[in-house]
Structures are given as structure tokens and as C-alpha cells.
């Protein structure tokens, strides 16, 4: 039996690969009980439930009718609105995988559903919790870099395949998948909002009907200028899945963050490959711990639905800019 301060959490869908990381974290936190899994794919729910030693619910409705406190939504991007609405109707708190939705309309609907409900809603932007970013944020806030002039970010990864390349389910390709993380971190650092977006987007690597390469430029309301490379440009043979790097240029100095530098180089005769084995900080653990504590302590979440909406707007504006070949103003 769970203790009085233990938060009971279930997972809605294992469509997104991050569900595995979250499930592992749920089993590590002393203030959390991982209750079970529900999925549109019943066989997947049973397989994952068996793997993690939890209950496989027959349906989302059955799970939401149980005595759980919260859910983690890790379904396909296009299904976030439906699943968040279901959870809110059942008064279950929600941690939602990024991006918030595939359209601005759906994202705004999620924010409104949450506003009208009694639930806590947190956006899954785990990069905020990494010590490297926290140190970068402290450096910027201290004024050591002087006035911030510009930023350069990269989130270059491997193409995950599957529904991630189905634009109806994902809302796009690499740009919607990878832009939102850096857009969110940049909003935190600048304490400003994206004002104008220009982008060049294409498919140069996989030759499919989804975008795998993108360079986005963003001007913020405080005139800070930023670039984001959000491409799926890492081949299968690359040592690691990708990166989240950020460089901040100020009048008094430059600071650079490499988020996944806590790694060792492994040269394996068994696999015939060179790989990076990550040993560092688990940002997913910090994310879920923050979410659970906000529920247990009835305190505000650290990352809101509005944060998710603002980051999504950058990605959506990037697609529009690339299509029209002109900058898009976000404040009009």
C-alpha cells in the first residue's frame, strides 16, 4: 500500500520512446508508485506492463477511473490533446511529452482545458533540469557575460523512424521534434519571448516526405538573436544519438554548454563500433521528481502548458517561414 505522500502515476501510451525512460524513473523514486500502463495498442500495454512489473489496464478509461493521482502522456503528438482532455475530465494530473501538440489550435485547447480544470499540468522539458544548463543559467543571470547579444543552439540527432516520420501523427519531422527543447531553454535564458522566426527546412538525408534538416533563426523581444539547428543529421553509426548544445554570446564573454558531455568513449571489438556511453545526470528523473513533488506538496509546476505553447509556436512558425520563404512575426 502506497504511503500518504506517495504519488500514484500511470503512463498513457508507450508510443513515444521516452516512455521507457520515464517508466524506469518511476520505479526509482521513493515518493512515486508506478501503477500501470494503458495504450491504444493492447498488446504493447501488456508487453510493457509485464516488462516493468505493473498492471496493464484494458483502456485509458479504466486507468483514469482507478485511484491513480496522475498520468504521463507519451502518445503520438497528434493524440496529446485527446489524452490530456481525458485525464483532465477524470481530474488526474498530467505530465505531457513534448511537443505540446501538432497545431496551435490543439495546443491552445490543451492550455484552456487545464485552466478550467483542477489538475496540475507539466510540460516535459527535462533539459531545464540538467546541471550544465543550470550552471549556464546562473552564469547568464549573474551578469558575468555582460549584455546577451546572441545564442547558437544545436539539437542534432538520429532519425527515430516510425510514426515520427508520419507528419499527420508527428506534426512534422525533425523541426517539430527538436526545436522545442532549445526554444524553451532560450526563453528561460533571455526572459523574453520569440518575436520573429525565419527558417530553411528540407529533407536532404533520408529523401522522404518529412523534414530531416532545419536551421531556424529567432529574434526575441529583447533583441537577442538566436539560431537553432534541429536536424536529424546523425547517422546510425554515430557514437551517440545526438546532442543538446547551447552557446551564449555576451558583451563580456562567451559561455558554452554541452549537455551530454558526461560520457566515456567505448571502442568495442564485439560490435566493431565506437560509442559514447553516457554516465551522467538523469534529467528525466529530475523532471518526474519535480512533477511528483508539485502534486504531493500542492505547489505550482516548474514548466507550464503555456511554456509548451510558446516553444511550439517557434517550430510552427519555422514551417510557415520555410514554406513562404520569409520571416514570420509571432507578436501580430
User: Helices (DSSP H) in the chain: which residue ranges?
Assistant: 18-26, 42-52, 60-64, 80-89, 104-116, 131-142, 167-170, 174-190, 283-296, 305-324
Whether 4 has a pLDDT exceeding 90, the answer reads no
Burial of 235 (0-12, 13-18, 19+ CB in 10 A): exposed
Whether 84 has a pLDDT exceeding 50, the answer reads yes
Report yes or no on 299 lying in a domain: no
For residues 184 and 190, what is the distance between their CA atoms, to the nearest angstrom?
A: 10
**Are 105 and 138 part of one and the same domain?**
no
Mean pLDDT of the chain, nearest integer: 96
**Are 228 and 88 part of one and the same domain?**
no
User: Among candidates 264, 240, 245, 267, which has minimal Cα distance to 255?
Assistant: 245
Question: Which domain, by its residues, includes 86?
Answer: 7-119
How does pLDDT run across 144-178, given as a tens digit for each residue? 999 999 999 999 999 999 999 999 999 999 999 99
Rg (CA), the chain: 20
H/E/C letters for each residue in 107-124? HHHHHHHHHHCCCCEEEC
Domain count, the chain: 2
Report yes or no on 296 lying in a domain: no
pLDDT above 70 as % of the chain: 99
How does pLDDT run across 46-62, given as a tens digit for each residue? 999 999 999 999 999 99
Report yes or no on 301 lying in a domain: no
Q: What pLDDT is attached to residue 1?
A: 35
Residue where one domain finishes, among candidates 119, 146, 162 = 119
Q: What pLDDT is attached to residue 5?
A: 83
18 vs 236, more confident: 18
User: What is the mean predicted confidence (pLDDT) over 282-289?
Assistant: 97
Residue where one domain finishes, among candidates 73, 91, 119 = 119
Residue where one domain finishes, among candidates 69, 91, 119 = 119
Q: Which residues have C-beta within 8 Å of that of residue 82, sequence separation ≥ 6?
A: none
Which CATH number fits the domain that encloses residue 218?
A: 3.30.360.10
**Are 104 and 183 part of one and the same domain?**
no
User: What is the mean predicted confidence (pLDDT) over 71-77?
Assistant: 98
How does pLDDT run across 204-256, given as a tens digit for each residue? 999 899 999 999 999 999 999 999 999 999 998 999 999 999 999 999 999 99
Amino acid at each position: 500500500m502506497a504511503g500518504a505522500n506517495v504519488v500514484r502515476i500511470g503512463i498513457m501510451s508507450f508510443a513515444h520512446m521516452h516512455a521507457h525512460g520515464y517508466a524506469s524513473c518511476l520505479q526509482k523514486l521513493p515518493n512515486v508508485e508506478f501503477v500501470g500502463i494503458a495504450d491504444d495498442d493492447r498488446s504493447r500495454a501488456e508487453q510493457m506492463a509485464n516488462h516493468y512489473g505493473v498492471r496493464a489496464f484494458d483502456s485509458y478509461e479504466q486507468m483514469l477511473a482507478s485511484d491513480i493521482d496522475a498520468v504521463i502522456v507519451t502518445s503520438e503528438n497528434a493524440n496529446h490533446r485527446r489524452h490530456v482532455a481525458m485525464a483532465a475530465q477524470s481530474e488526474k494530473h498530467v505530465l505531457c511529452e513534448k511537443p505540446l501538440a501538432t497545431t496551435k489550435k490543439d495546443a491552445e485547447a490543451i492550455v484552456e482545458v487545464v485552466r478550467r480544470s483542477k489538475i496540475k499540468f507539466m510540460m516535459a522539458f527535462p533539459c531545464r533540469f540538467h546541471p550544465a544548463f543550470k550552471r549556464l543559467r546562473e552564469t547568464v543571470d549573474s551578469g558575468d557575460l555582460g549584455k546577451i547579444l546572441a545564442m547558437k543552439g544545436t539539437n542534432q540527432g538520429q532519425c527515430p523512424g516510425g510514426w515520427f516520420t508520419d507528419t499527420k501523427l508527428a506534426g512534422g519531422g525533425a523541426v517539430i521534434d527538436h526545436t522545442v527543447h532549445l526554444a524553451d531553454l532560450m526563453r528561460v535564458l533571455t526572459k523574453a519571448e520569440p518575436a520573429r522566426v525565419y527558417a530553411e527546412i528540407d529533407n536532404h538525408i533520408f529523401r522522404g516526405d518529412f523534414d530531416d534538416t532545419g536551421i531556424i533563426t529567432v529574434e526575441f523581444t529583447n533583441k537577442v538573436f538566436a539560431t537553432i539547428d534541429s536536424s536529424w543529421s546523425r547517422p546510425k553509426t554515430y557514437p551517440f544519438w545526438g546532442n543538446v548544445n547551447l552557446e551564449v554570446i555576451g558583451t563580456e564573454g562567451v559561455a558554452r554548454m554541452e549537455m551530454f558531455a558526461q560520457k566515456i568513449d567505448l571502442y568495442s571489438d564485439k560490435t566493431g563500433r565506437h560509442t559514447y556511453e553516457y554516465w551522467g545526470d538523469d534529467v528525466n528523473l529530475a523532471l518526474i521528481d519535480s512533477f511528483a513533488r508539485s502534486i504531493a506538496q500542492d505547489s505550482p509546476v516548474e514548466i507550464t502548458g503555456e511554456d509548451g505553447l510558446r516553444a511550439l509556436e517557434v517550430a510552427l512558425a519555422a514551417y510557415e517561414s520555410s514554406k513562404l520563404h520569409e520571416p514570420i512575426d509571432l507578436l501580430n
